[in-house]
Structure 1
């Protein structure tokens, strides 16, 4: 790949914003300095007026391969991720077949090795009956273990309390958990089905997958993590009440229990169901505007550590089904960073904090080797952002295989202009390189 010199950048990194040049050599950041001279063998990219950030690390995506590739696949969705400044992702196990054996895990890695545009790892799915297989999993083999403590797409529900405790006691890896209480959801669903049949109004979704269901499950998982000493990461916190369960009085590196919030829970509220319908049907559900504000407060005061997408595409035909048949989830990787930058423009969050929550903290939390920061000797995963280049989300510029976005029709003030993956310019001003230089993640554990 040779040398690339990024000139005249405004660098956002490690709680600082400063001008500088960054020299890339092959897949590594070779030098960071105020001014770096170029030579004839170096390609120069002048980004004056633009901001250089580490590539975003998304700790929760569903790219639908294998088995669900009519919705998306590793190639299409990682390509869309790169367009959104995401250079690394961690994909979830609820595919078909499910990623619940070491053989299935390695088969996914083999697909990604040839197909992925962004760096990759996968979560190994815990079930009611694969504890022995999980015990064989090397702690550096993948990003971690995923437990569905509430059912969702693919139905990998783990509901055997004895097994859950054994999983907590038998892995050193981060256990990432989807926390919703299944008994509460089933009782709520039965009541609403009795009233409405299958065509339940979409605005009932946050009452079915309720605050109570989320809090019961999250609090139970956290109590078990404290009891067993397990390393627990609670995915997609959706209620203000749950934020009270997390600490902000110690550094992230010392936390045994951490939390993630997703873009859709920071952006939408129950007021949006009327206009967006099942396009914003997620599990856990988008809830009230008050919940949204409390999630923001927890993000800003460090009770919530990471911002992710839970990117989960479905076809528009599937989403347009009646409530009980419409699947939960939506595509987000291309638009997550522009959406967060809107909140910078409105004064809600600083650029340094966006970088912390979307780049630095996922790298720290999962102990990813040489990624998530702009540092000499680190892999050259970088995104260049123009904060003053407005654009509108339309079908013509949506990169997802499913062809739609919950942000369709929205306008963003900021645009990702370049994305580097391991020093390779994977995306530039709306154009993709078809070369793939992505790598399997490695870890410092």
Structure 2
């Protein structure tokens, strides 16, 4: 006698419980959770369950959402926070039961969303991991989506890195301006100095340093679209006599003798094995007493694997790798720098991501028109998930200030930090 298969709602009752912030409705007419929940998850088709059961880690949820087989009505961040909290509490027996109930009819190969990249080894057609060609293709895939799409998500600052909020109620634009200014102050910039900004994005740091500190700046980015937008912005601001942005690999910069180097959000892309050589190269570009400010996402400890996996690797930052802040400082110390200041800004990145999520939600129709619904769903999911990761201390954001010490140990640093907050 065959057993009666439980409804989708009954299965999620076992997983999520009947209370909480989220309710579930399913294609078979069943439901789970409180009917008046502020966030509702709609399981639109059996395809969603097939993705959840057949995919490792977070790929199942990502594939279901990006493909539109699963819809979230309400705040995506709230839904993820509730789901993570509930899943963390699942016992081994709960997980075995879930696999047994869903597995037989849903363990099957299903087509992947077109936004998903192949696995790491299948991407070797573009060259080995962190070869120049493969790095260029990875950057282009993420950043050359549409400059207008990024304008809608990032706001007027066009800054795609962690902001620094001077006050809790500061706007995102104020916080991004404050971030660039903090970097300038940490680097001790003064009129007439020369700055190299590697991984310069849309040129926010380049323009700020040239406009407000009177320095000569070269910025480089592997994204052609970023370089075109940034150079046009520099001309519009009347800064072309002292600032430029190049579409170039940072390793192709031939100039040297800079007073300072800023690296804001590039270290995540270069690969853990390349980090020592990266800092040696940047040191070679600096004068004695020149400073480096390295700003990047870091792992919370050295036991976390460097390589990104699952959803982030396949959909967002292919070949991305993170190090712990201790690994960053050690690499700097061993390759030309004395470390003088370290700061963790993870709460600021959570607030930054929350602001980007609001921007995307408010501009959803136009953003989807620019990049497509699947790509819009990828960005919505990754930004909400990363916000949660920073809040849960699964990620950190580290600023590390180093100096290339001159002859006789002369670092040219103030006795106490003079850059304020």
Higher Cα Rg, which structure:
2
More helix by share: 2
More strand by share: 1
Question: Is TM more than 0.5 here?
Answer: no
TM-score of the superposed pair, with normalisation by structure 2 = 0.25
TM-score of the superposed pair, with normalisation by structure 1 = 0.24
Q: Which has the higher contact order (CA 8 A, sep 6+)?
A: 1
